[in-house]
Structure 1
Amino acid sequence: MAGRRGARSGRGWDAIPPRSGGPDSTERGGIGEKSSSATDLTARAGRGGRTRRSENPDQPPKSESETAREICLRQLAVRPRTRAELAKALARKEISAEVIAEVLDRYDEVGIIDDAAFSRAWVASRHYVRGLARRALANELRQRGVDAEVATEALEALDEDEEAATARALVDRKLRAASGTPDQVFRRLVGMLARKGYTAGVAVRAVKDALAARDAEAAEFAEQIDADAMADDSDTSH
């Protein structure tokens, strides 16, 4: 299963991206490969714009476009970025709006930045490694300035069955070390899934099924849980 392979890899968006493209970068839409080759590609991104005084008096002053490209490359060396993230980084350095548009348009053209590929890779990594559900992933993509239509298309890779299976795997993992009464354990685990973006229906069913398989006491408690009713109550409260 793709989820388990991703989880065993231990690599997510918290890890430093590889310096050269490999199988993972190809599967994620080539983002890792594009970032590692950004230095070569940026030479084709054009020159011009205002000049800035160089810190080294022996070197000629840099154009504003060159400064902008250097800022982008430093950002991309850490991890892939969306167009909006790079635009914010450039604005903080007081790069003009005209130069920001010029540089980022060129980067879009040559493939150094690609919000659709970024979104697909983000969804895959954050779901399979961190166990986040579509609702949480949509919020993260929105915070990074990804267009709603682009984000929706990336999130379509996760279906309801896959989400439910991931939720159950998360619960089973936590349940092994859980202590307290079945009611206490139930509430903690449902809360954990809610923080990861799972709907009430998915969360309650995953925990109920896991408790039913744990022991006699937990199974007796699970039998009393009406997952559908709890999910409906949660939906109306919001």
Structure 2
Amino acid sequence: MAEEVLSRFEEVGLIDDSAFAEAWVESRHHGRGLARRALAQELRTKGVDSSLIDEAVSQLDSEQEEATARELVARKLRATRGLDRDKRLRRLAGMLARKGYPEGMALRVVRQALEEEGEDTEFLGEGSL
């Protein structure tokens, strides 16, 4: 009986995992600043099929993801003023990592933001955390 009801709901469009996944990605990326990796993990925990997850997160490209990372860092940057350079780098890159951003992108975005503020980032290697 339950299977019949669920099948009927799908037929009339009341259950649409694809639309749900796309709306979730749109909402959580713009609302919380989550990256593709974090969004995919959230959808997996919700039981969404892998192919639908891939399709939904593909609507975000790497430029959009990097632009969002820059916005997040810009918002958080002021709160780290007064801390030493290495601590700022760790806090900002850690914030991006928790939101699912790739390490290389996180470090690049944070390093650029710190440079724009006048911080000396010359001695920060590629893998500095």
Whether the aligned pair in 2 keeps the contact of 1:123 and 1:155 (CA below 8 Å) is yes
Counterpart of 2:32 in structure 1 is 130
Asked whether the equivalents of residues 172 and 210 of structure 1 are also in contact (C-alpha less than 8 Å), the reply is: yes
Counterparts of 1:223-234 in structure 2, within 5 Å, are: 223-227=122-126, 230=127
Structure 1 Cα separation of the partners of residues 106 and 66 of structure 2? 8
Q: Find the aligned partners of 1:100 and 1:207 in 2 and give their Cα distance.
A: 51
Identity %: 53
Q: Is the 8 A contact 1:212 1:223 kept in 2?
A: no
The correspondence for 2:14, drawn from 112, 115, 121, is 112
Cα distance in structure 2, aligned partners of 1:152 and 1:137: 10
Shift of 1:100: 2.2
Residue identity opposite 2:54 in structure 1: T
The gaps in structure 1 that reach 5 residues or longer are 1-98
CA distance in 1, matches of 2:112, 2:125: 12
Q: How far apart are the structure 2 equivalents of 1:154 and 1:116?
A: 7
Q: Which residue of 1 aligns with 2:87?
A: 184
Count of residue pairs brought into register by the alignment = 128
Structure 1 distance, partners of 2:15, 2:43, is: 15
| Moved beyond 3 Å, runs of 4+ | none
Give the aligned partner of residue 212 of structure 1: 115
Q: Deviations over 1:186-214 (max 9, x none)?
A: 00111100000011011100100000001
1:112-166 residue CA offsets vs partner (Å, 9 max, x unmatched) = 1100000000001100110000000000000011000011001110111111111
Question: Normalising by structure 1, what TM-score?
Answer: 0.52
Write the deviation string for residues 15-72 of structure 1: whole angstroms up to 9, x where unpaired.
xxxxxxxxxxxxxxxxxxxxxxxxxxxxxxxxxxxxxxxxxxxxxxxxxxxxxxxxxx
**Aligned residue runs from structure 1 range 74-223, under 5 A:** 99-179=1-81, 180-215=83-118, 218=119, 220=120, 222-223=121-122
Structure 2: how far apart are the matches of 1:150 and 1:189? Answer: 31
Larger-Rg structure: 1
Aligned partners of 1:131 and 1:170 also within 8 Å: yes
Cα distance in 2, alignment partners of residues 147 and 210 from structure 1: 37
Give CA deviations for 1:154-185 in whole Å, capped at 9, x if unaligned: 11101111111111110010001213111101
Tell me the TM-score normalized by structure 2.
0.94
Q: Which residue of 2 aligns with 1:26?
A: none
Distance 1:171 1:119 in 2: 26
